[in-house]
Amino acid sequence: MSKIKILSDQLTNKIAAGEVVQRPASLIKELVENSLDAGATEITVVVKNGGKSLCQVIDNGEGMNKDDLLLAFERYATSKIATTEDLMAIRTLGFRGEALASIAAVSIVNAISVEKGADSGYELRIEGGSFREIKAVAGTVGTNISVKNLFFNVPARRKFLKSREVEFRHIIDVIRKFSMIHPRVRFTLIHNDKEVLRLRPEELLDRIVNLYSVEYRKNLIRIDEQRAGITLSGYIGNLNLVRARRGDQYLFVNNRYISDRLMNYAVGKAYSNLVSRGEYPFYCLHLEMDPSAVDVNVHPTKMEVKFREQNRVYRFLEESVKAGLKDILDVIPDLSKFSPEYYYAPAPFERQQREEKKNPEVGLISTGSEIGDDKAPESPDYQTEMPLHFSRRKPEGRWTERARRFVEQGFPEPKMEYRPDVPLYQLHNKYIITQVKSGLVIIDQHVAHERILYDNAIKAMAKEPWRGQQLLFPQVIELSVTDFSLLLEVLPFLEKIGFSIREFGKNTIALEAVPAGMTWGNESTIIKEILDHYQEFGTKDTSIQSKVAASYSCKAAIKSGDKLTEEEMRNLVDNLFATDDPYFCPHGRPIIVNLTLKELDKRFERT
């Protein structure tokens, strides 16, 4: 008897479902693609329990007759291609003819379709890939497909689904992509009997504003470029729309959303002089070209493509985005001609003389006029006004005492013991420098404050919640659907650390109080950055409490560039050494760098 067997249709459909249907969002994607290919102008998506219990797509497309309805759920059955030549020039979103069969194999499907021009339609019921019944029904023109209990007959797959909130956010992301590239189509999204989205036919700019917030309207840059048969259109965001997480980058080819690392890198490269690492700009761009110049038959999900002239498309995309950013790039100073000699030039001679009159010890630092007759170059005012903290002469007795102690006791073992009575200095409004017994300590002020806030937040969640400081006027913050869903997930923990937030309309909140000590005036930015940070890095923490605490501490902490007084620096250092782990921030970055006397002596070649 042969060991090799031909698999049954039911088993092959379940195997195919593993590629096509990964989660409720991928199911919704396949159904919406069919609706758009059928010419629908109104699409309603209904989900329950994050799509685990129900996924329903209703459209007003051309519909199907009885025979087409039965064939639609057969494997490799489609109306979109018929010949090999059709496969080489795909013009529709779907074409493989395997999505509906794969969906029906792992769920309970109820499909109702009324063909255009017909008085009635048909209803088909399928359970786990088995056809149950088909009957005539009354209805309106279009197709209504409901999918219940996804993966009910594949328990191993069902247990790998995420929480309903996470699955629902993936569905929102799918609807957002379709609605952006099809702004003339009316989309409605209902979750657990509550309307989440209602988008009317409109221009792309209005569609983006309705999907996100009104602030996007004045921060978007229109792109319209054409070259050698390729057209690029859409919008890119300026620096006000840069986020700390991925997810707001949309690239379409011939009305299809694609996931192409190289092409997304081309857009990112155009922004390279404007954004830092870990920052992601917004863009919604549509490439239109001859369908024969791009191959979409790469993966069953149809989101990966191959370009016939990849390098040409890459250059066109990068140059087009750069041209759109030209006005922003023109105001960025050119640092390529940076001259260290000029930056560190000594102060003008006249000012140096004034300093010597006030403090004779300052004269220990030589000026350019003492070296030669050439006039010293001028330097910016903020450099000449820098206080010379380290120019004072040390008493001779102190060095004698140190030498005597070294002879008696030998060189001590390096220890980093913070002494609260020693002076503190701030370097470039970024680092705090202080002396310890073993040498010199440099502290990153941002991650130091982050560690303090993180420890306090964890304690507040575990024990007594913080009392927030009330805002004089509540701040109304408009969020996208995804951000609003994310906020609901972390809201109980935000309230424990001092935030007071209440719902204020659809996808809108009113912020009434913030944690004590948090800077006022940027509450909206901090809330959005906390959500970005939580979504981007949340999976790296062990619990939702630590995720929220890490997100809050990172975004509410003082920033690099903030000027601190000596009292503020001292309080920061005191509180840092009172934490359980003053050496590393919640994300593992070092807080303190210790330069021992041995290291310093080695640098200066002292023996």
Contact criterion met (CB below 8 Å) for 490 and 544: yes
pLDDT beyond 90 at 61: yes
Cβ neighbours around 500 below 10 Å, total = 16
Amino acid at 102: S
What pLDDT shows up at residue 64? 95
CATH 1.10.10.60 fits 211-329, yes or no: no
Q: Which of 6-15, 68-77, 331-340 has the lowest mean pLDDT?
A: 331-340
Q: Which of 59-68, 167-176, 379-388 has the lowest mean pLDDT?
A: 379-388
Rounded to an integer, the average pLDDT of 241-248 is: 87
Rounded to an integer, the average pLDDT of 71-84 is: 89
Rounded to an integer, the average pLDDT of 11-31 is: 84
Contact criterion met (CB below 8 Å) for 47 and 28: yes
Binned at pLDDT 50, 70 and 90, residue 203 comes out as: very high
Binned at pLDDT 50, 70 and 90, residue 468 comes out as: confident
d(CA 547, CA 587): 10
Rounded to an integer, the average pLDDT of 42-61 is: 96
Global pTM?
0.72
pLDDT beyond 70 at 416: no
Contact criterion met (CB below 8 Å) for 209 and 217: yes
Binned at pLDDT 50, 70 and 90, residue 268 comes out as: very high
What pLDDT shows up at residue 283? 96
Higher pLDDT: 82 or 179? It is 179
> Residue 384 gets which letter from DSSP?
H
pLDDT beyond 80 at 281: yes
* CATH superfamily label, 9-201: Histidine kinase-like ATPase, C-terminal domain (3.30.565.10)
CA 421 and chain centroid, separation: 43
- 3.30.9.10, 3.30.1370.100, 3.30.160.160, 1.10.3720.10: which CATH number matches 444-592? 3.30.1370.100
pLDDT beyond 70 at 80: yes
Query: Counting every residue, how long is the chain?
Result: 607
Q: What does pLDDT average to over the chain?
A: 82
Q: What pLDDT digit, counting tens, does each position of 516-541 carry?
A: 766 666 778 788 878 887 777 654 44
Radius of gyration of the chain (CA): 32
* Domain residue extents for the chain: 9-201, 211-329, 444-592
pLDDT beyond 80 at 310: yes
pLDDT beyond 90 at 40: yes
What pLDDT shows up at residue 349? 43
Percent of the chain topping pLDDT 90: 41
H or E segment to which residue 62 belongs = none
d(CA 481, CA 487): 10
Q: Which of 267, 276, 248 is nearest to 317 (CA)?
A: 267
Contact criterion met (CB below 8 Å) for 531 and 486: yes
What pLDDT shows up at residue 124? 96
- Strand bridging mode 431-436 / 424-427: antiparallel
What pLDDT shows up at residue 409? 52
Higher pLDDT: 360 or 386? It is 360
Contact criterion met (CB below 8 Å) for 446 and 592: no
